[in-house]
Structure 1
């Protein structure tokens, strides 16, 4: 059994090594001031003047400056069967993780990140980019209070079935898969949106919906 490194009763910001827009970082820190870094993500923390409570990973992309600055909180995980993102998720216990710096860089890293979400069924993790917030939908039914007209994507990360109410193009117990039906350019028709899912399905929304997404994940 993997032993947790970080135990938090409040949301955590997790920083990866890919590019992070200043707006992404500021939004994450406003919602989740506690910082954990995945390997080279520590350099983002260093540049922002933030001290992570832990730096987790194989440490193969950490600069010497960050290694020195955060020497007291380095937690090397040497095995190479998992990514730094997975190393972090399996060692952080928190009600919500806002993860920035994991999408928008190398395609293989992006696909690996999404694969980790699906495999771990990590519905408490919200991925943040300059344009979007993304979260894995919980199994069963969930309600999303979203403004009409808002862009929305329902993207299967594996074999899934999805029903919806409140979308411009609703889904009625539709079989979905990455190599089959996806709903990449949908929109909100009425508030709230009701989604019923079985299988790993990613919900994507504009970054302006981050507050709504975090509230739903936290059960507020």
Structure 2
């Protein structure tokens, strides 16, 4: 009696032509995955993030060092070669997912909130993957690396925080209560948290991609549009 052949290993990186919902193992507020899911094609889980998903609707892949999955054997059996065990400890599970996939946009849940070091590591991933469009979604906030030319339609009074992860200069800004025109920014000098939109349309031009923008979660659609519309750097 012949033994069925194992499915072939997928070519890496996994390439998706639509936005990917990336689910991590951190806190996921009620309703967030349901809010993000219609905007995405495939779902990819980072390690223990798979436990937040239904076995009836498995993700396209699970990627990570697999040290926090409740039912590792069960998910391996369901996903076969798309259960991508990456044991190296030089990168986070989010970093492994970004290394082994390509997508036009990543909408990420389960990476903000909970442990502070995990949240900081997720923000670090934005800075170390400036060629990707990545949006981190949490209970209250959305966070993404500012394009060199960022334009968004928000609402007067909306919070717009700009936190420099490295030295950069605000070349010009529009629609902000506290302008950032010709302003040197840096984590050890001047930051731009708790700024505010004066008008519905806001904009920011930077000399390099080193600042994280944080806005309220209610502006999910507007934030996605702002990343889609940003010119390639």
Alignment TM-score, normalising by the size of structure 2: 0.86
1:110 matched residue in structure 2: 119
Give the RMSD, CA atoms, in angstroms: 1.8
Structure 1 SS opposite 2:31 = helix
1:186 aligns with 2:188: no
CA drift at 1:131? 0.6
Which one of 215, 219, 222 corresponds to residue 205 of structure 1?
A: 215
Query: Any conservation in 2 of the 1:46–1:66 contact (CA below 8 Å)?
Result: no
1:144 matched residue in structure 2: 152
CA drift at 1:172? 1.5
Alignment TM-score, normalising by the size of structure 1: 0.91
Which one of 38, 41, 61 corresponds to residue 54 of structure 1?
A: 61
Rounded Cα–Cα distance in structure 2 between residues aligned with 1:109 and 1:43: 18
1:5 matched residue in structure 2: 13
Q: 1:145 to 1:153 in 2, by over 3 A?
A: same
Rounded Cα–Cα distance in structure 1 between residues aligned with 2:12 and 2:224: 23
Superposition misfits of 4+ residues, deviation over 3 angstroms: 65-72
Higher CA-based Rg:
2
For structure 1, the 5+ residue unaligned runs are none
2:34 matched residue in structure 1: 26
For structure 2, the 5+ residue unaligned runs are 1-10
Size of the aligned set, in residue pairs, is 216
